[in-house]
Amino acid sequence: MTRLAKRIFYKELVSYKKRSSTYLSPIVFFLITIALYPLALSNDPADLAFLAPGITWICVLLSTLLSIQNIFNEDFEDGSLDIFFSLRVSTLSLVIVKILVNWIFSSLPIIILSSTVVFLLFLPSESLVILLTSLLIGTPVISLFGALAGALSLGKSSILGPAIVLPLSLPILILGTSAVSSFLNGENPSFYFLMMLAIFIFLLPLICYACIGALRLHYE
Amino acid sequence: MLKVDNLSYAYTDKYLFENLNLYLDIKTIIKVSGSNGSGKTTFLKNISGILQDYEGEILYLNENIKDISSPNIFYAGHKNGFKDNLTVGENLKNDLRNPEFDLDKIKNYLNDFGCEISFSTPLGNYSEGQKKKILLSLFASVNADLYVLDEPFSNLDDEGIDCLNEIFRQKVSEGSSIVFTSHENQGKSSQEINIDDFKND
């Protein structure tokens, strides 16, 4: 079964690489929205630095939404899910592989690009590590919610995706921005990191099994 | 090889078919016919273990199909499982049904189908008929005990139909069995069942 999971992982990588819109759209969306804030809000570096953690996190959340909700839809439409089930591929491996590859392509580039907020939003460079760490821990949770939304809305309208992901992601958004803000205020942000990590560890098995149930629901 | 006992399948409250019985021996080809929407595809998904919420029992090599961890069944549905944005070669190489990718074997079958395909071209550039021939070349190159094929003769030209009948004959002579659906008079089979006969209106 591990061999099959490896083959799915490789196929997903090849498929995502060829489907450039999946990872380019979130990147372009992120860069444009981040660049618009200084124009619309203020050009005062102090104001922007104060708002930077929140703005960055909101932009990351909205950007990842663009690709995450279709995580299972293509496989459902082209019949790949039928083949997975006929081969008795472990649904758990399938769900984990799909979430992992989606995170690599939709969230990781944005996390790297969020370094640009040091220039665009005047975020103090010493807090960049804190921002990146919060995104590294927080975005996998958003990917989990996205996978659940994708599995639930299989073959249906995509409005269900954001309706599920956005409300569920609010705690992560609050913790992520609080981590950076607390660091800027001279406090230790480790509490927020630990909370986000705890949420991820708690949700990982829960959402994976919920995804399996939701996928199976379409085959009953 | 495959024994279907009193199989019934319902979507919501309406039964597609009821009390379907079938025995499939080795070296047998069964054609499943029926009108549109009669449940042919559903029946194939039942015997492949994809749809498991049926009533009755399906035994594959005397074991319940639901309990088998890796049945040697090749399933090719109406949707081919290929991705249009990948090249033909990438699709075939990464297809999970194809554990040992043999490029030459697939090329030979594509030639038999009279199909000129470049493996480095995106699959989306080809017509539905050509995609069908690529899928059938994959089917021909894979070794399985049971092949479950949904509408393999649709979108095929006369040359393709003859070639597929020849591959069927070859697979059966190697000891495999085939179950396929068709609502046309195509495909030579040793047995035929009509899903419409198992409706209880």
Q: How much is the ipTM here?
A: 0.90
Angle value at C-alpha A101, between A95 and A103, nearest 5 degrees: 100
Kindly list the distances between the CA atom of residue B30 and the CA atoms of A51, B122, B147, B168, in Å, as whole numbers in the listed order: 68, 34, 10, 11
Q: Please give the Cα distance from B113 to A192 (Å, whole number).
A: 62
What are the beta bridge partners of residue B22?
B4
Low-confidence ranges of chain A (pLDDT < 70): 1, 69, 157-158
Are A17 and A27 in contact by the 8 Å Cβ rule? The answer is no
Touching B: A residues 54-73, CB under 8 Å? none
Alpha carbon of B200: minimum distance to chain A alpha carbons (Å): 21
pTM of the predicted model, to two decimals? Answer: 0.89
Q: Please give the Cα distance from B175 to B161 (Å, whole number).
A: 21
Q: Please give the Cα distance from B13 to B107 (Å, whole number).
A: 47
**pLDDT for res A55:** 94
**pLDDT for res A60:** 94
Optimal mutation site among A18, A23, A70, A83, interface B, most CBs of chain B within 10 A = A83
**pLDDT for res A198:** 97
Buried b / exposed e across A20-37, counting CB within 10 Å, b at 16+? eebbeebbebbbebbeeb
Low-confidence ranges of chain B (pLDDT < 50): none
Q: Please give the Cα distance from B129 to B153 (Å, whole number).
A: 10
Contacts of B135 (CB under 8 A, 6+ apart): B76, B80, B82
Optimal mutation site among A86, A92, A101, interface B, most CBs of chain B within 10 A = A86
Per CB-CB distance under 8 Å, the chain B contacts of A86 are 48-50, 73, 75, 148
| Of A101, A78, A80, the residue nearest A17 (C-alpha) | A101
- pLDDT digit string, tens, across residues A170-185: 999 999 999 999 999 9
The verdict on a CB contact (< 8 Å) between A8 and B96 is: yes
**pLDDT for res A158:** 66
**pLDDT for res B181:** 92
Cα pseudo-dihedral B137, B143, B146, B152, rounded to 10: 0
Q: Where are the domains of chain A?
A: 3-217
Q: Please give the Cα distance from B24 to A47 (Å, whole number).
A: 75
Helix or strand holding residue B23 (H, E): strand B14-24
Say which CATH superfamily domain B2-198 falls into.
P-loop containing nucleotide triphosphate hydrolases (3.40.50.300)
User: Beta B63-64 vs B55-60: how paired, if at all?
Assistant: antiparallel
For residue B56, what is the DSSP state?
A: E
